[in-house]
Structure 1
Amino acid sequence: MKFQITELLNGKRTLVNISKRVFLLSFILFVTISLLSLVRGSLPSSPKKNITNSFSFRSKEIKKCDVFSGKWVSHPQGPYYDKDTCHLILDQQNCINNGRPDIEFMNWRWKPDECELPLFNATQFLTIVRGKSMAFVGDSVGRNQMQSLLCLLAGVAYPNDISGKYTLHPYSSVWFYADYNFTLAKFWSTFLVRGSDADPDGHSYNSVMNLYLDELDKSWVTQIEKFDYVIISTGQWFFRPLVYYESGQIVGCYKCNNKNITDLTNYYGLKRALRTAFETLIGLKGYKGVTILRTYSPQHFENGQWNRGGSCGRTRPFTVEEKRLDGYMLEAYLSQVEVFGTEEKEARKKGLQFWLLDISELMMLRPDGHPNRYGRSRDKNVSINDCVHWCMPGPIDTWNEFLLYFMKMGSQISSSLKLQKVF
């Protein structure tokens, strides 16, 4: 019994000691927290996280609207880059370097009616495409957009030109951003489908060409299957004399001046070539990429055609009241959108995404954005009146703002609403 009482008392002393220690620790902790609170209260408060400057660019943070309906507004902050910060500008579109005296054409920005178009963020773009690949397929206006993208990214990273590792058309190129494992390619294919010169005297600006409308150009289709983004660009070349083939047989021609061949419009060729391109992409077993159609890019020749003294010397944008997309350019645009609408439905059935980069109407308002006489021929060191391509920097950079906006939105992008407006 004595042992039990002594053991019990010893236990109580132990509990009392433990209680004292717990109380002492609690008191010290309370005093420490109070002191820290007082110190913290005397310091400036931490700034709140700025979403626009963070890498949190989920689609729910971006307002979804028709970004292609709006107007051009003054943007005194100027362009993202210049000839000194980007040495990748082709001389053909380096308007300031070629002597263009006015700079106002660089100080406009597209403002959608219902929301804001986010500024291009090179770090965001490269983060999204890390480990991926993107290809521009088509003509020189598509190359123009790719060059714009190269310069927009130049503030963060410069790529390595790895074109020599591939068998490519001389006008094609492949770039690699090693830090982001990102491949950017330009596949030259003016018609998307197979074409060849029909004129025995060889190729010239207005010579007749054969187009095989149901045969895709192998220079790009054999390499495109593994790309994550494929941006289709075509339209300008379909206004030259063309002979159309399907199933190996002549089915008609455009401006070929041959009474023995059925006259067909250039829009027939444009639609048929686009359909072949889209159907082929949809049918490729390993293709899981996003297909993007960049619609017809308007030209702005005044007082004559490109080969008859036409020029584009304006220094300010049109307003929507002054100029609308019409005539042959409207017809080319509608031809593209018609085919896109049909093929987009087929793509969805296979779980593929088709996006419409609908720049035709808004670029109709930018007669001031072309090189005009401050451009250069790619093959000849001479000045030309270029009212087809776009100065860099200039309004073409907006196309890549749209592209990044779409990439942030991801699968939420739908072209159905825009197509309903068109038709």
Structure 2
Amino acid sequence: MTMDADSVRGIDRRRLLGWSGLAAAAASGAQLVTARPGHAAPARTDPDAIPPDARPGGAYDRYVAKLAAEDKFSGVVLLSHRGRTVLSRSYGMADEEKGVRNHEGVAFSLSSAGKPFGAVAVLQLVQRGEVKLWDTVGTHLTGFAKEIAEKVTIHHLLSGTSGLSNPDVDVRRVFQSREEVREYNERWARQAELVAAPGTPTDHVGAEVAIPALIVEAVTGTTYWDYVEEHIFRRCGMTGTAFCTRPRWLTDERVAHPYMELADGSRVDAVRNLDKDSPSPHQPGKNPGRNFIDAPGDGGFATAPDLVRFAHALTDGTVLDRPYAEVLTAAKTPLPPQQGGLRNGRAPGADAGFGAYSMPVHITNGQWLWGRAGGDPGVGASWNIYPDTGWVGVILSNCDGVPLWEIIDREIKAVTGGR
């Protein structure tokens, strides 16, 4: 699943206030309003102010607490402003069998919300001159169909415009080792077919994630997991984040277990019940516990504070020099309403959406929003960056039945002052 979020930079507010005599309005404390036909005009307030709805006890906090009380949320939500935690709440159990509660230090499965790590890894190679964005698949890999090897570029893959289709996946297979997961996904990626001209927008094509991961491995001589853990997680100080194996998932009390809903309405621990199937129409038979480790290019496990660290690292030069960070988040293609979101969802309240590299970016309530969401049975994850005002929002859940898109919508409204 996606959202499963990318330089498009917002107009500097102080420069904006200097135009057309608007500085006087700002000095007087007046709100600045920009109207658009057919839309309510968002209020422009001090970006350093903390909106009431985002504060502890505010509308967002009360809303999530209500969901948790109704057994509709288990996990962690966090709001950070300019590096300072404004709101942090934890609900439910990380491991019911062991009696471990969720808390800020617990890592949650990210599903598609971890895909941008792969794009950052590729851009690090581009920054070092080892890869070019116009390189075709065949520049670095063998074994792909001729038309893919010669026509599909790294840019096509990262921007979601490859024209590729997804090969069939064996969703019932139980993997026993990292090597087995890697070998299966490498064979799977080579079965991709070109079904449209490169440059044609696609939606949630797994081959567009798997192939760049293979390129990272081919160029660096190490596994995708090891490269990302060393060059992204460690650089960012993401000490609670990793690509966990199933044995660690079962034994480490700092890793949340996903509670998957079965057809009879009961919930089971998806890691401890590999024989159980999710009734999800999107992922029949999909059980995240069947993977020994997340496929290269996808997933990972992260704590909420670590995702805030990653968000800041994207803008302060920690993982990418500024020009390459701006390439990551720059709008590449406009997205129709049904794309760029969690499965076939959309960014709530977005005025416009665009595809960037491995994540969508949106203009919502007059400001930029970068982020990504993802989900599997028992898994929901979202991280949003509000670059114009310095906010970061994180939502991590570990049970089915969580209205993730509605929570994201409430987060956006709380942070941006939208209605």
TM-score under structure 2 normalisation?
0.27
Relative contact order (alpha carbons < 8 A, sep ≥ 6): 1 or 2 greater?
2
